[in-house]
Amino acid sequence: MPLMKEKTVLVTGGAGFLGSHLCERLLEQGNEVLCVDNYFTGRKQNILHLLESPHFEILRHDVTFPLYVEVDEIYNLACPASPVHYQFDPVQTTKTSVHGAINMLGLAKRIKAKILQASTSEVYGDPEMHPQREEYWGNVNPIGPRSCYDEGKRCAETLFFDYHRQHGLEIKVARIFNTYGPRMALDDGRVVSNFILQALRGEPITIYGEGQQTRSFCYVDDLVEGMIRLMNDTPGDFTGPMNLGNPGEFTIMELAETVLELTGSKSEIVFRPLPENDPMQRKPDISLAKSTIGWEPTIRLHDGLRKTIEYFKAFTASI
């Protein structure tokens, strides 16, 4: 891939699972990268290997407070993204999405920087449209246990588009569907990391509900490529929102069986009650991404899971 013109890029949540991969790719492209994280869910281990680069800088900061730096672009990824973490302190989760968006948009306005919001498929709630297209407004419970994240991200999208309309700010909004890969947190409670850890430890594989709910799993390298293409899209007046995810659809039972196959684990499968407001279907329509930025995932679930399993094996062996 040819090197792009050097830019100074701010990545909030840059020490997280997705953020660390994004920082890595931006550095590979010849950019100066400022990684901002308060380490609530991000981990220094995710970015230690980047410290060797003179073009990489870390700043410990909480985006619910204003930030004053000079950059060319901003990727706003800061927010706990798994139910275990965002339900731990739901008020702070909402503040991170809303106050964080206000602070990053204010910064972008002041320095005239282009800014991308890492939104989520959770803005669709438990969808009545399948697969989900960007024009769908969603089916979200505004007062449930997941609402701090769902509604926080929806409000952040509102702020982004209001700043765009009112101040002419150049924005990009990516709606990210389930993403997995190396550097996922062991305790994030997501289905891929849960199943892999349980299989490697020989523990029962826990499925909530009957396992017939569906998800679409996108490998992290594919997702990062989509985000960067969206940020660099021309013409610059294209805002999104744009779905980024893998349209391949699997039941949770199929995922469990695949993990058992790839790990060679003898773990049994056990069933537990389905959590409140857990969506039954998740599948992105990525027609817009294909036609606008020429993007679609290329890494098959089996291949991505193998890489993720190897990471978890190495990581758990080191602790």
Confidence of residue 315 (pLDDT cuts 50, 70, 90): confident
Q: What does the pLDDT read at residue 2?
A: 47
| 219 touches 304 (CB < 8 A) | yes
Tell me if 178 is assigned to some domain. Answer: yes
- pLDDT, residue 1, reads 44
Whether residue 246 is contained in a domain is answered as yes
pLDDT tens per residue, range 53-96? 999 999 999 999 999 999 999 999 999 887 777 888 999 999 99
Task: Please report whether residue 87 resides in a domain.
Answer: yes
More confident residue, 199 or 280: 199
Tracing tokens 């009957």 back to the chain, one arrives at 210
- 8 Å CB contact between 227 and 202: no
Is residue 206 a part of any domain in this protein? yes
Query: How far is the CA of 96 from the CAs of 38, 197, 206, in angstroms?
Result: 11, 29, 30
- Non-local CB neighbours of 214 within 8 Å, separated by 6+ positions: 249, 250, 251, 252, 280, 281, 282, 283
Q: What's the distance, Cα to Cα, between the start and end of the chain in Å?
A: 36
Per the structure, the complete domain to which residue 283 belongs is given by: 8-317
Task: Please indicate, yes or no, if residue 57 is contained in any of the structural domains.
Answer: yes
E strands of 39-180, at which residues? 56-60, 73-76, 114-120, 171-176, 179-180
| Percent over 90 (pLDDT), the chain | 83
Structural domain contains residue 1 = no
Average pLDDT over residues 186-191: 84
| Mean pLDDT, residues 12-37 taken together | 98
Q: pLDDT at position 138, please?
A: 94
pTM of the model: 0.93
Q: What is the pLDDT of residue 120?
A: 96
Q: What integer is the mean pLDDT of 291-299?
A: 96
pLDDT, one tens digit per residue, over 108-147 is: 999 999 999 999 999 999 889 999 999 999 999 999 999 9
Segment 218-235 mean pLDDT: 93
Number of domains within the chain = 1
The whole-number average pLDDT for the span 288-315 is 96
Between β-strands 32-37 and 56-60, what pairing exists: parallel, antiparallel or unpaired?
A: parallel
Euclidean distance between CA atoms 24 and 225, whole angstroms = 12
Q: Which band of pLDDT confidence, cut at 50, 70 and 90, is reported for residue 13?
A: very high
pLDDT band at 49 (very low <50, low <70, confident <90, very high): very high
Residues forming the active site: 149
Is residue 305, in this structure, part of any structural domain at all?
Answer: yes
Please give the pLDDT value at position 5.
Answer: 62
Query: Could you tell me the CATH number of the domain that includes residue 94?
Result: 3.40.50.720
pLDDT of res. 237: 77
Would residue 2 count as lying in a domain?
Answer: no
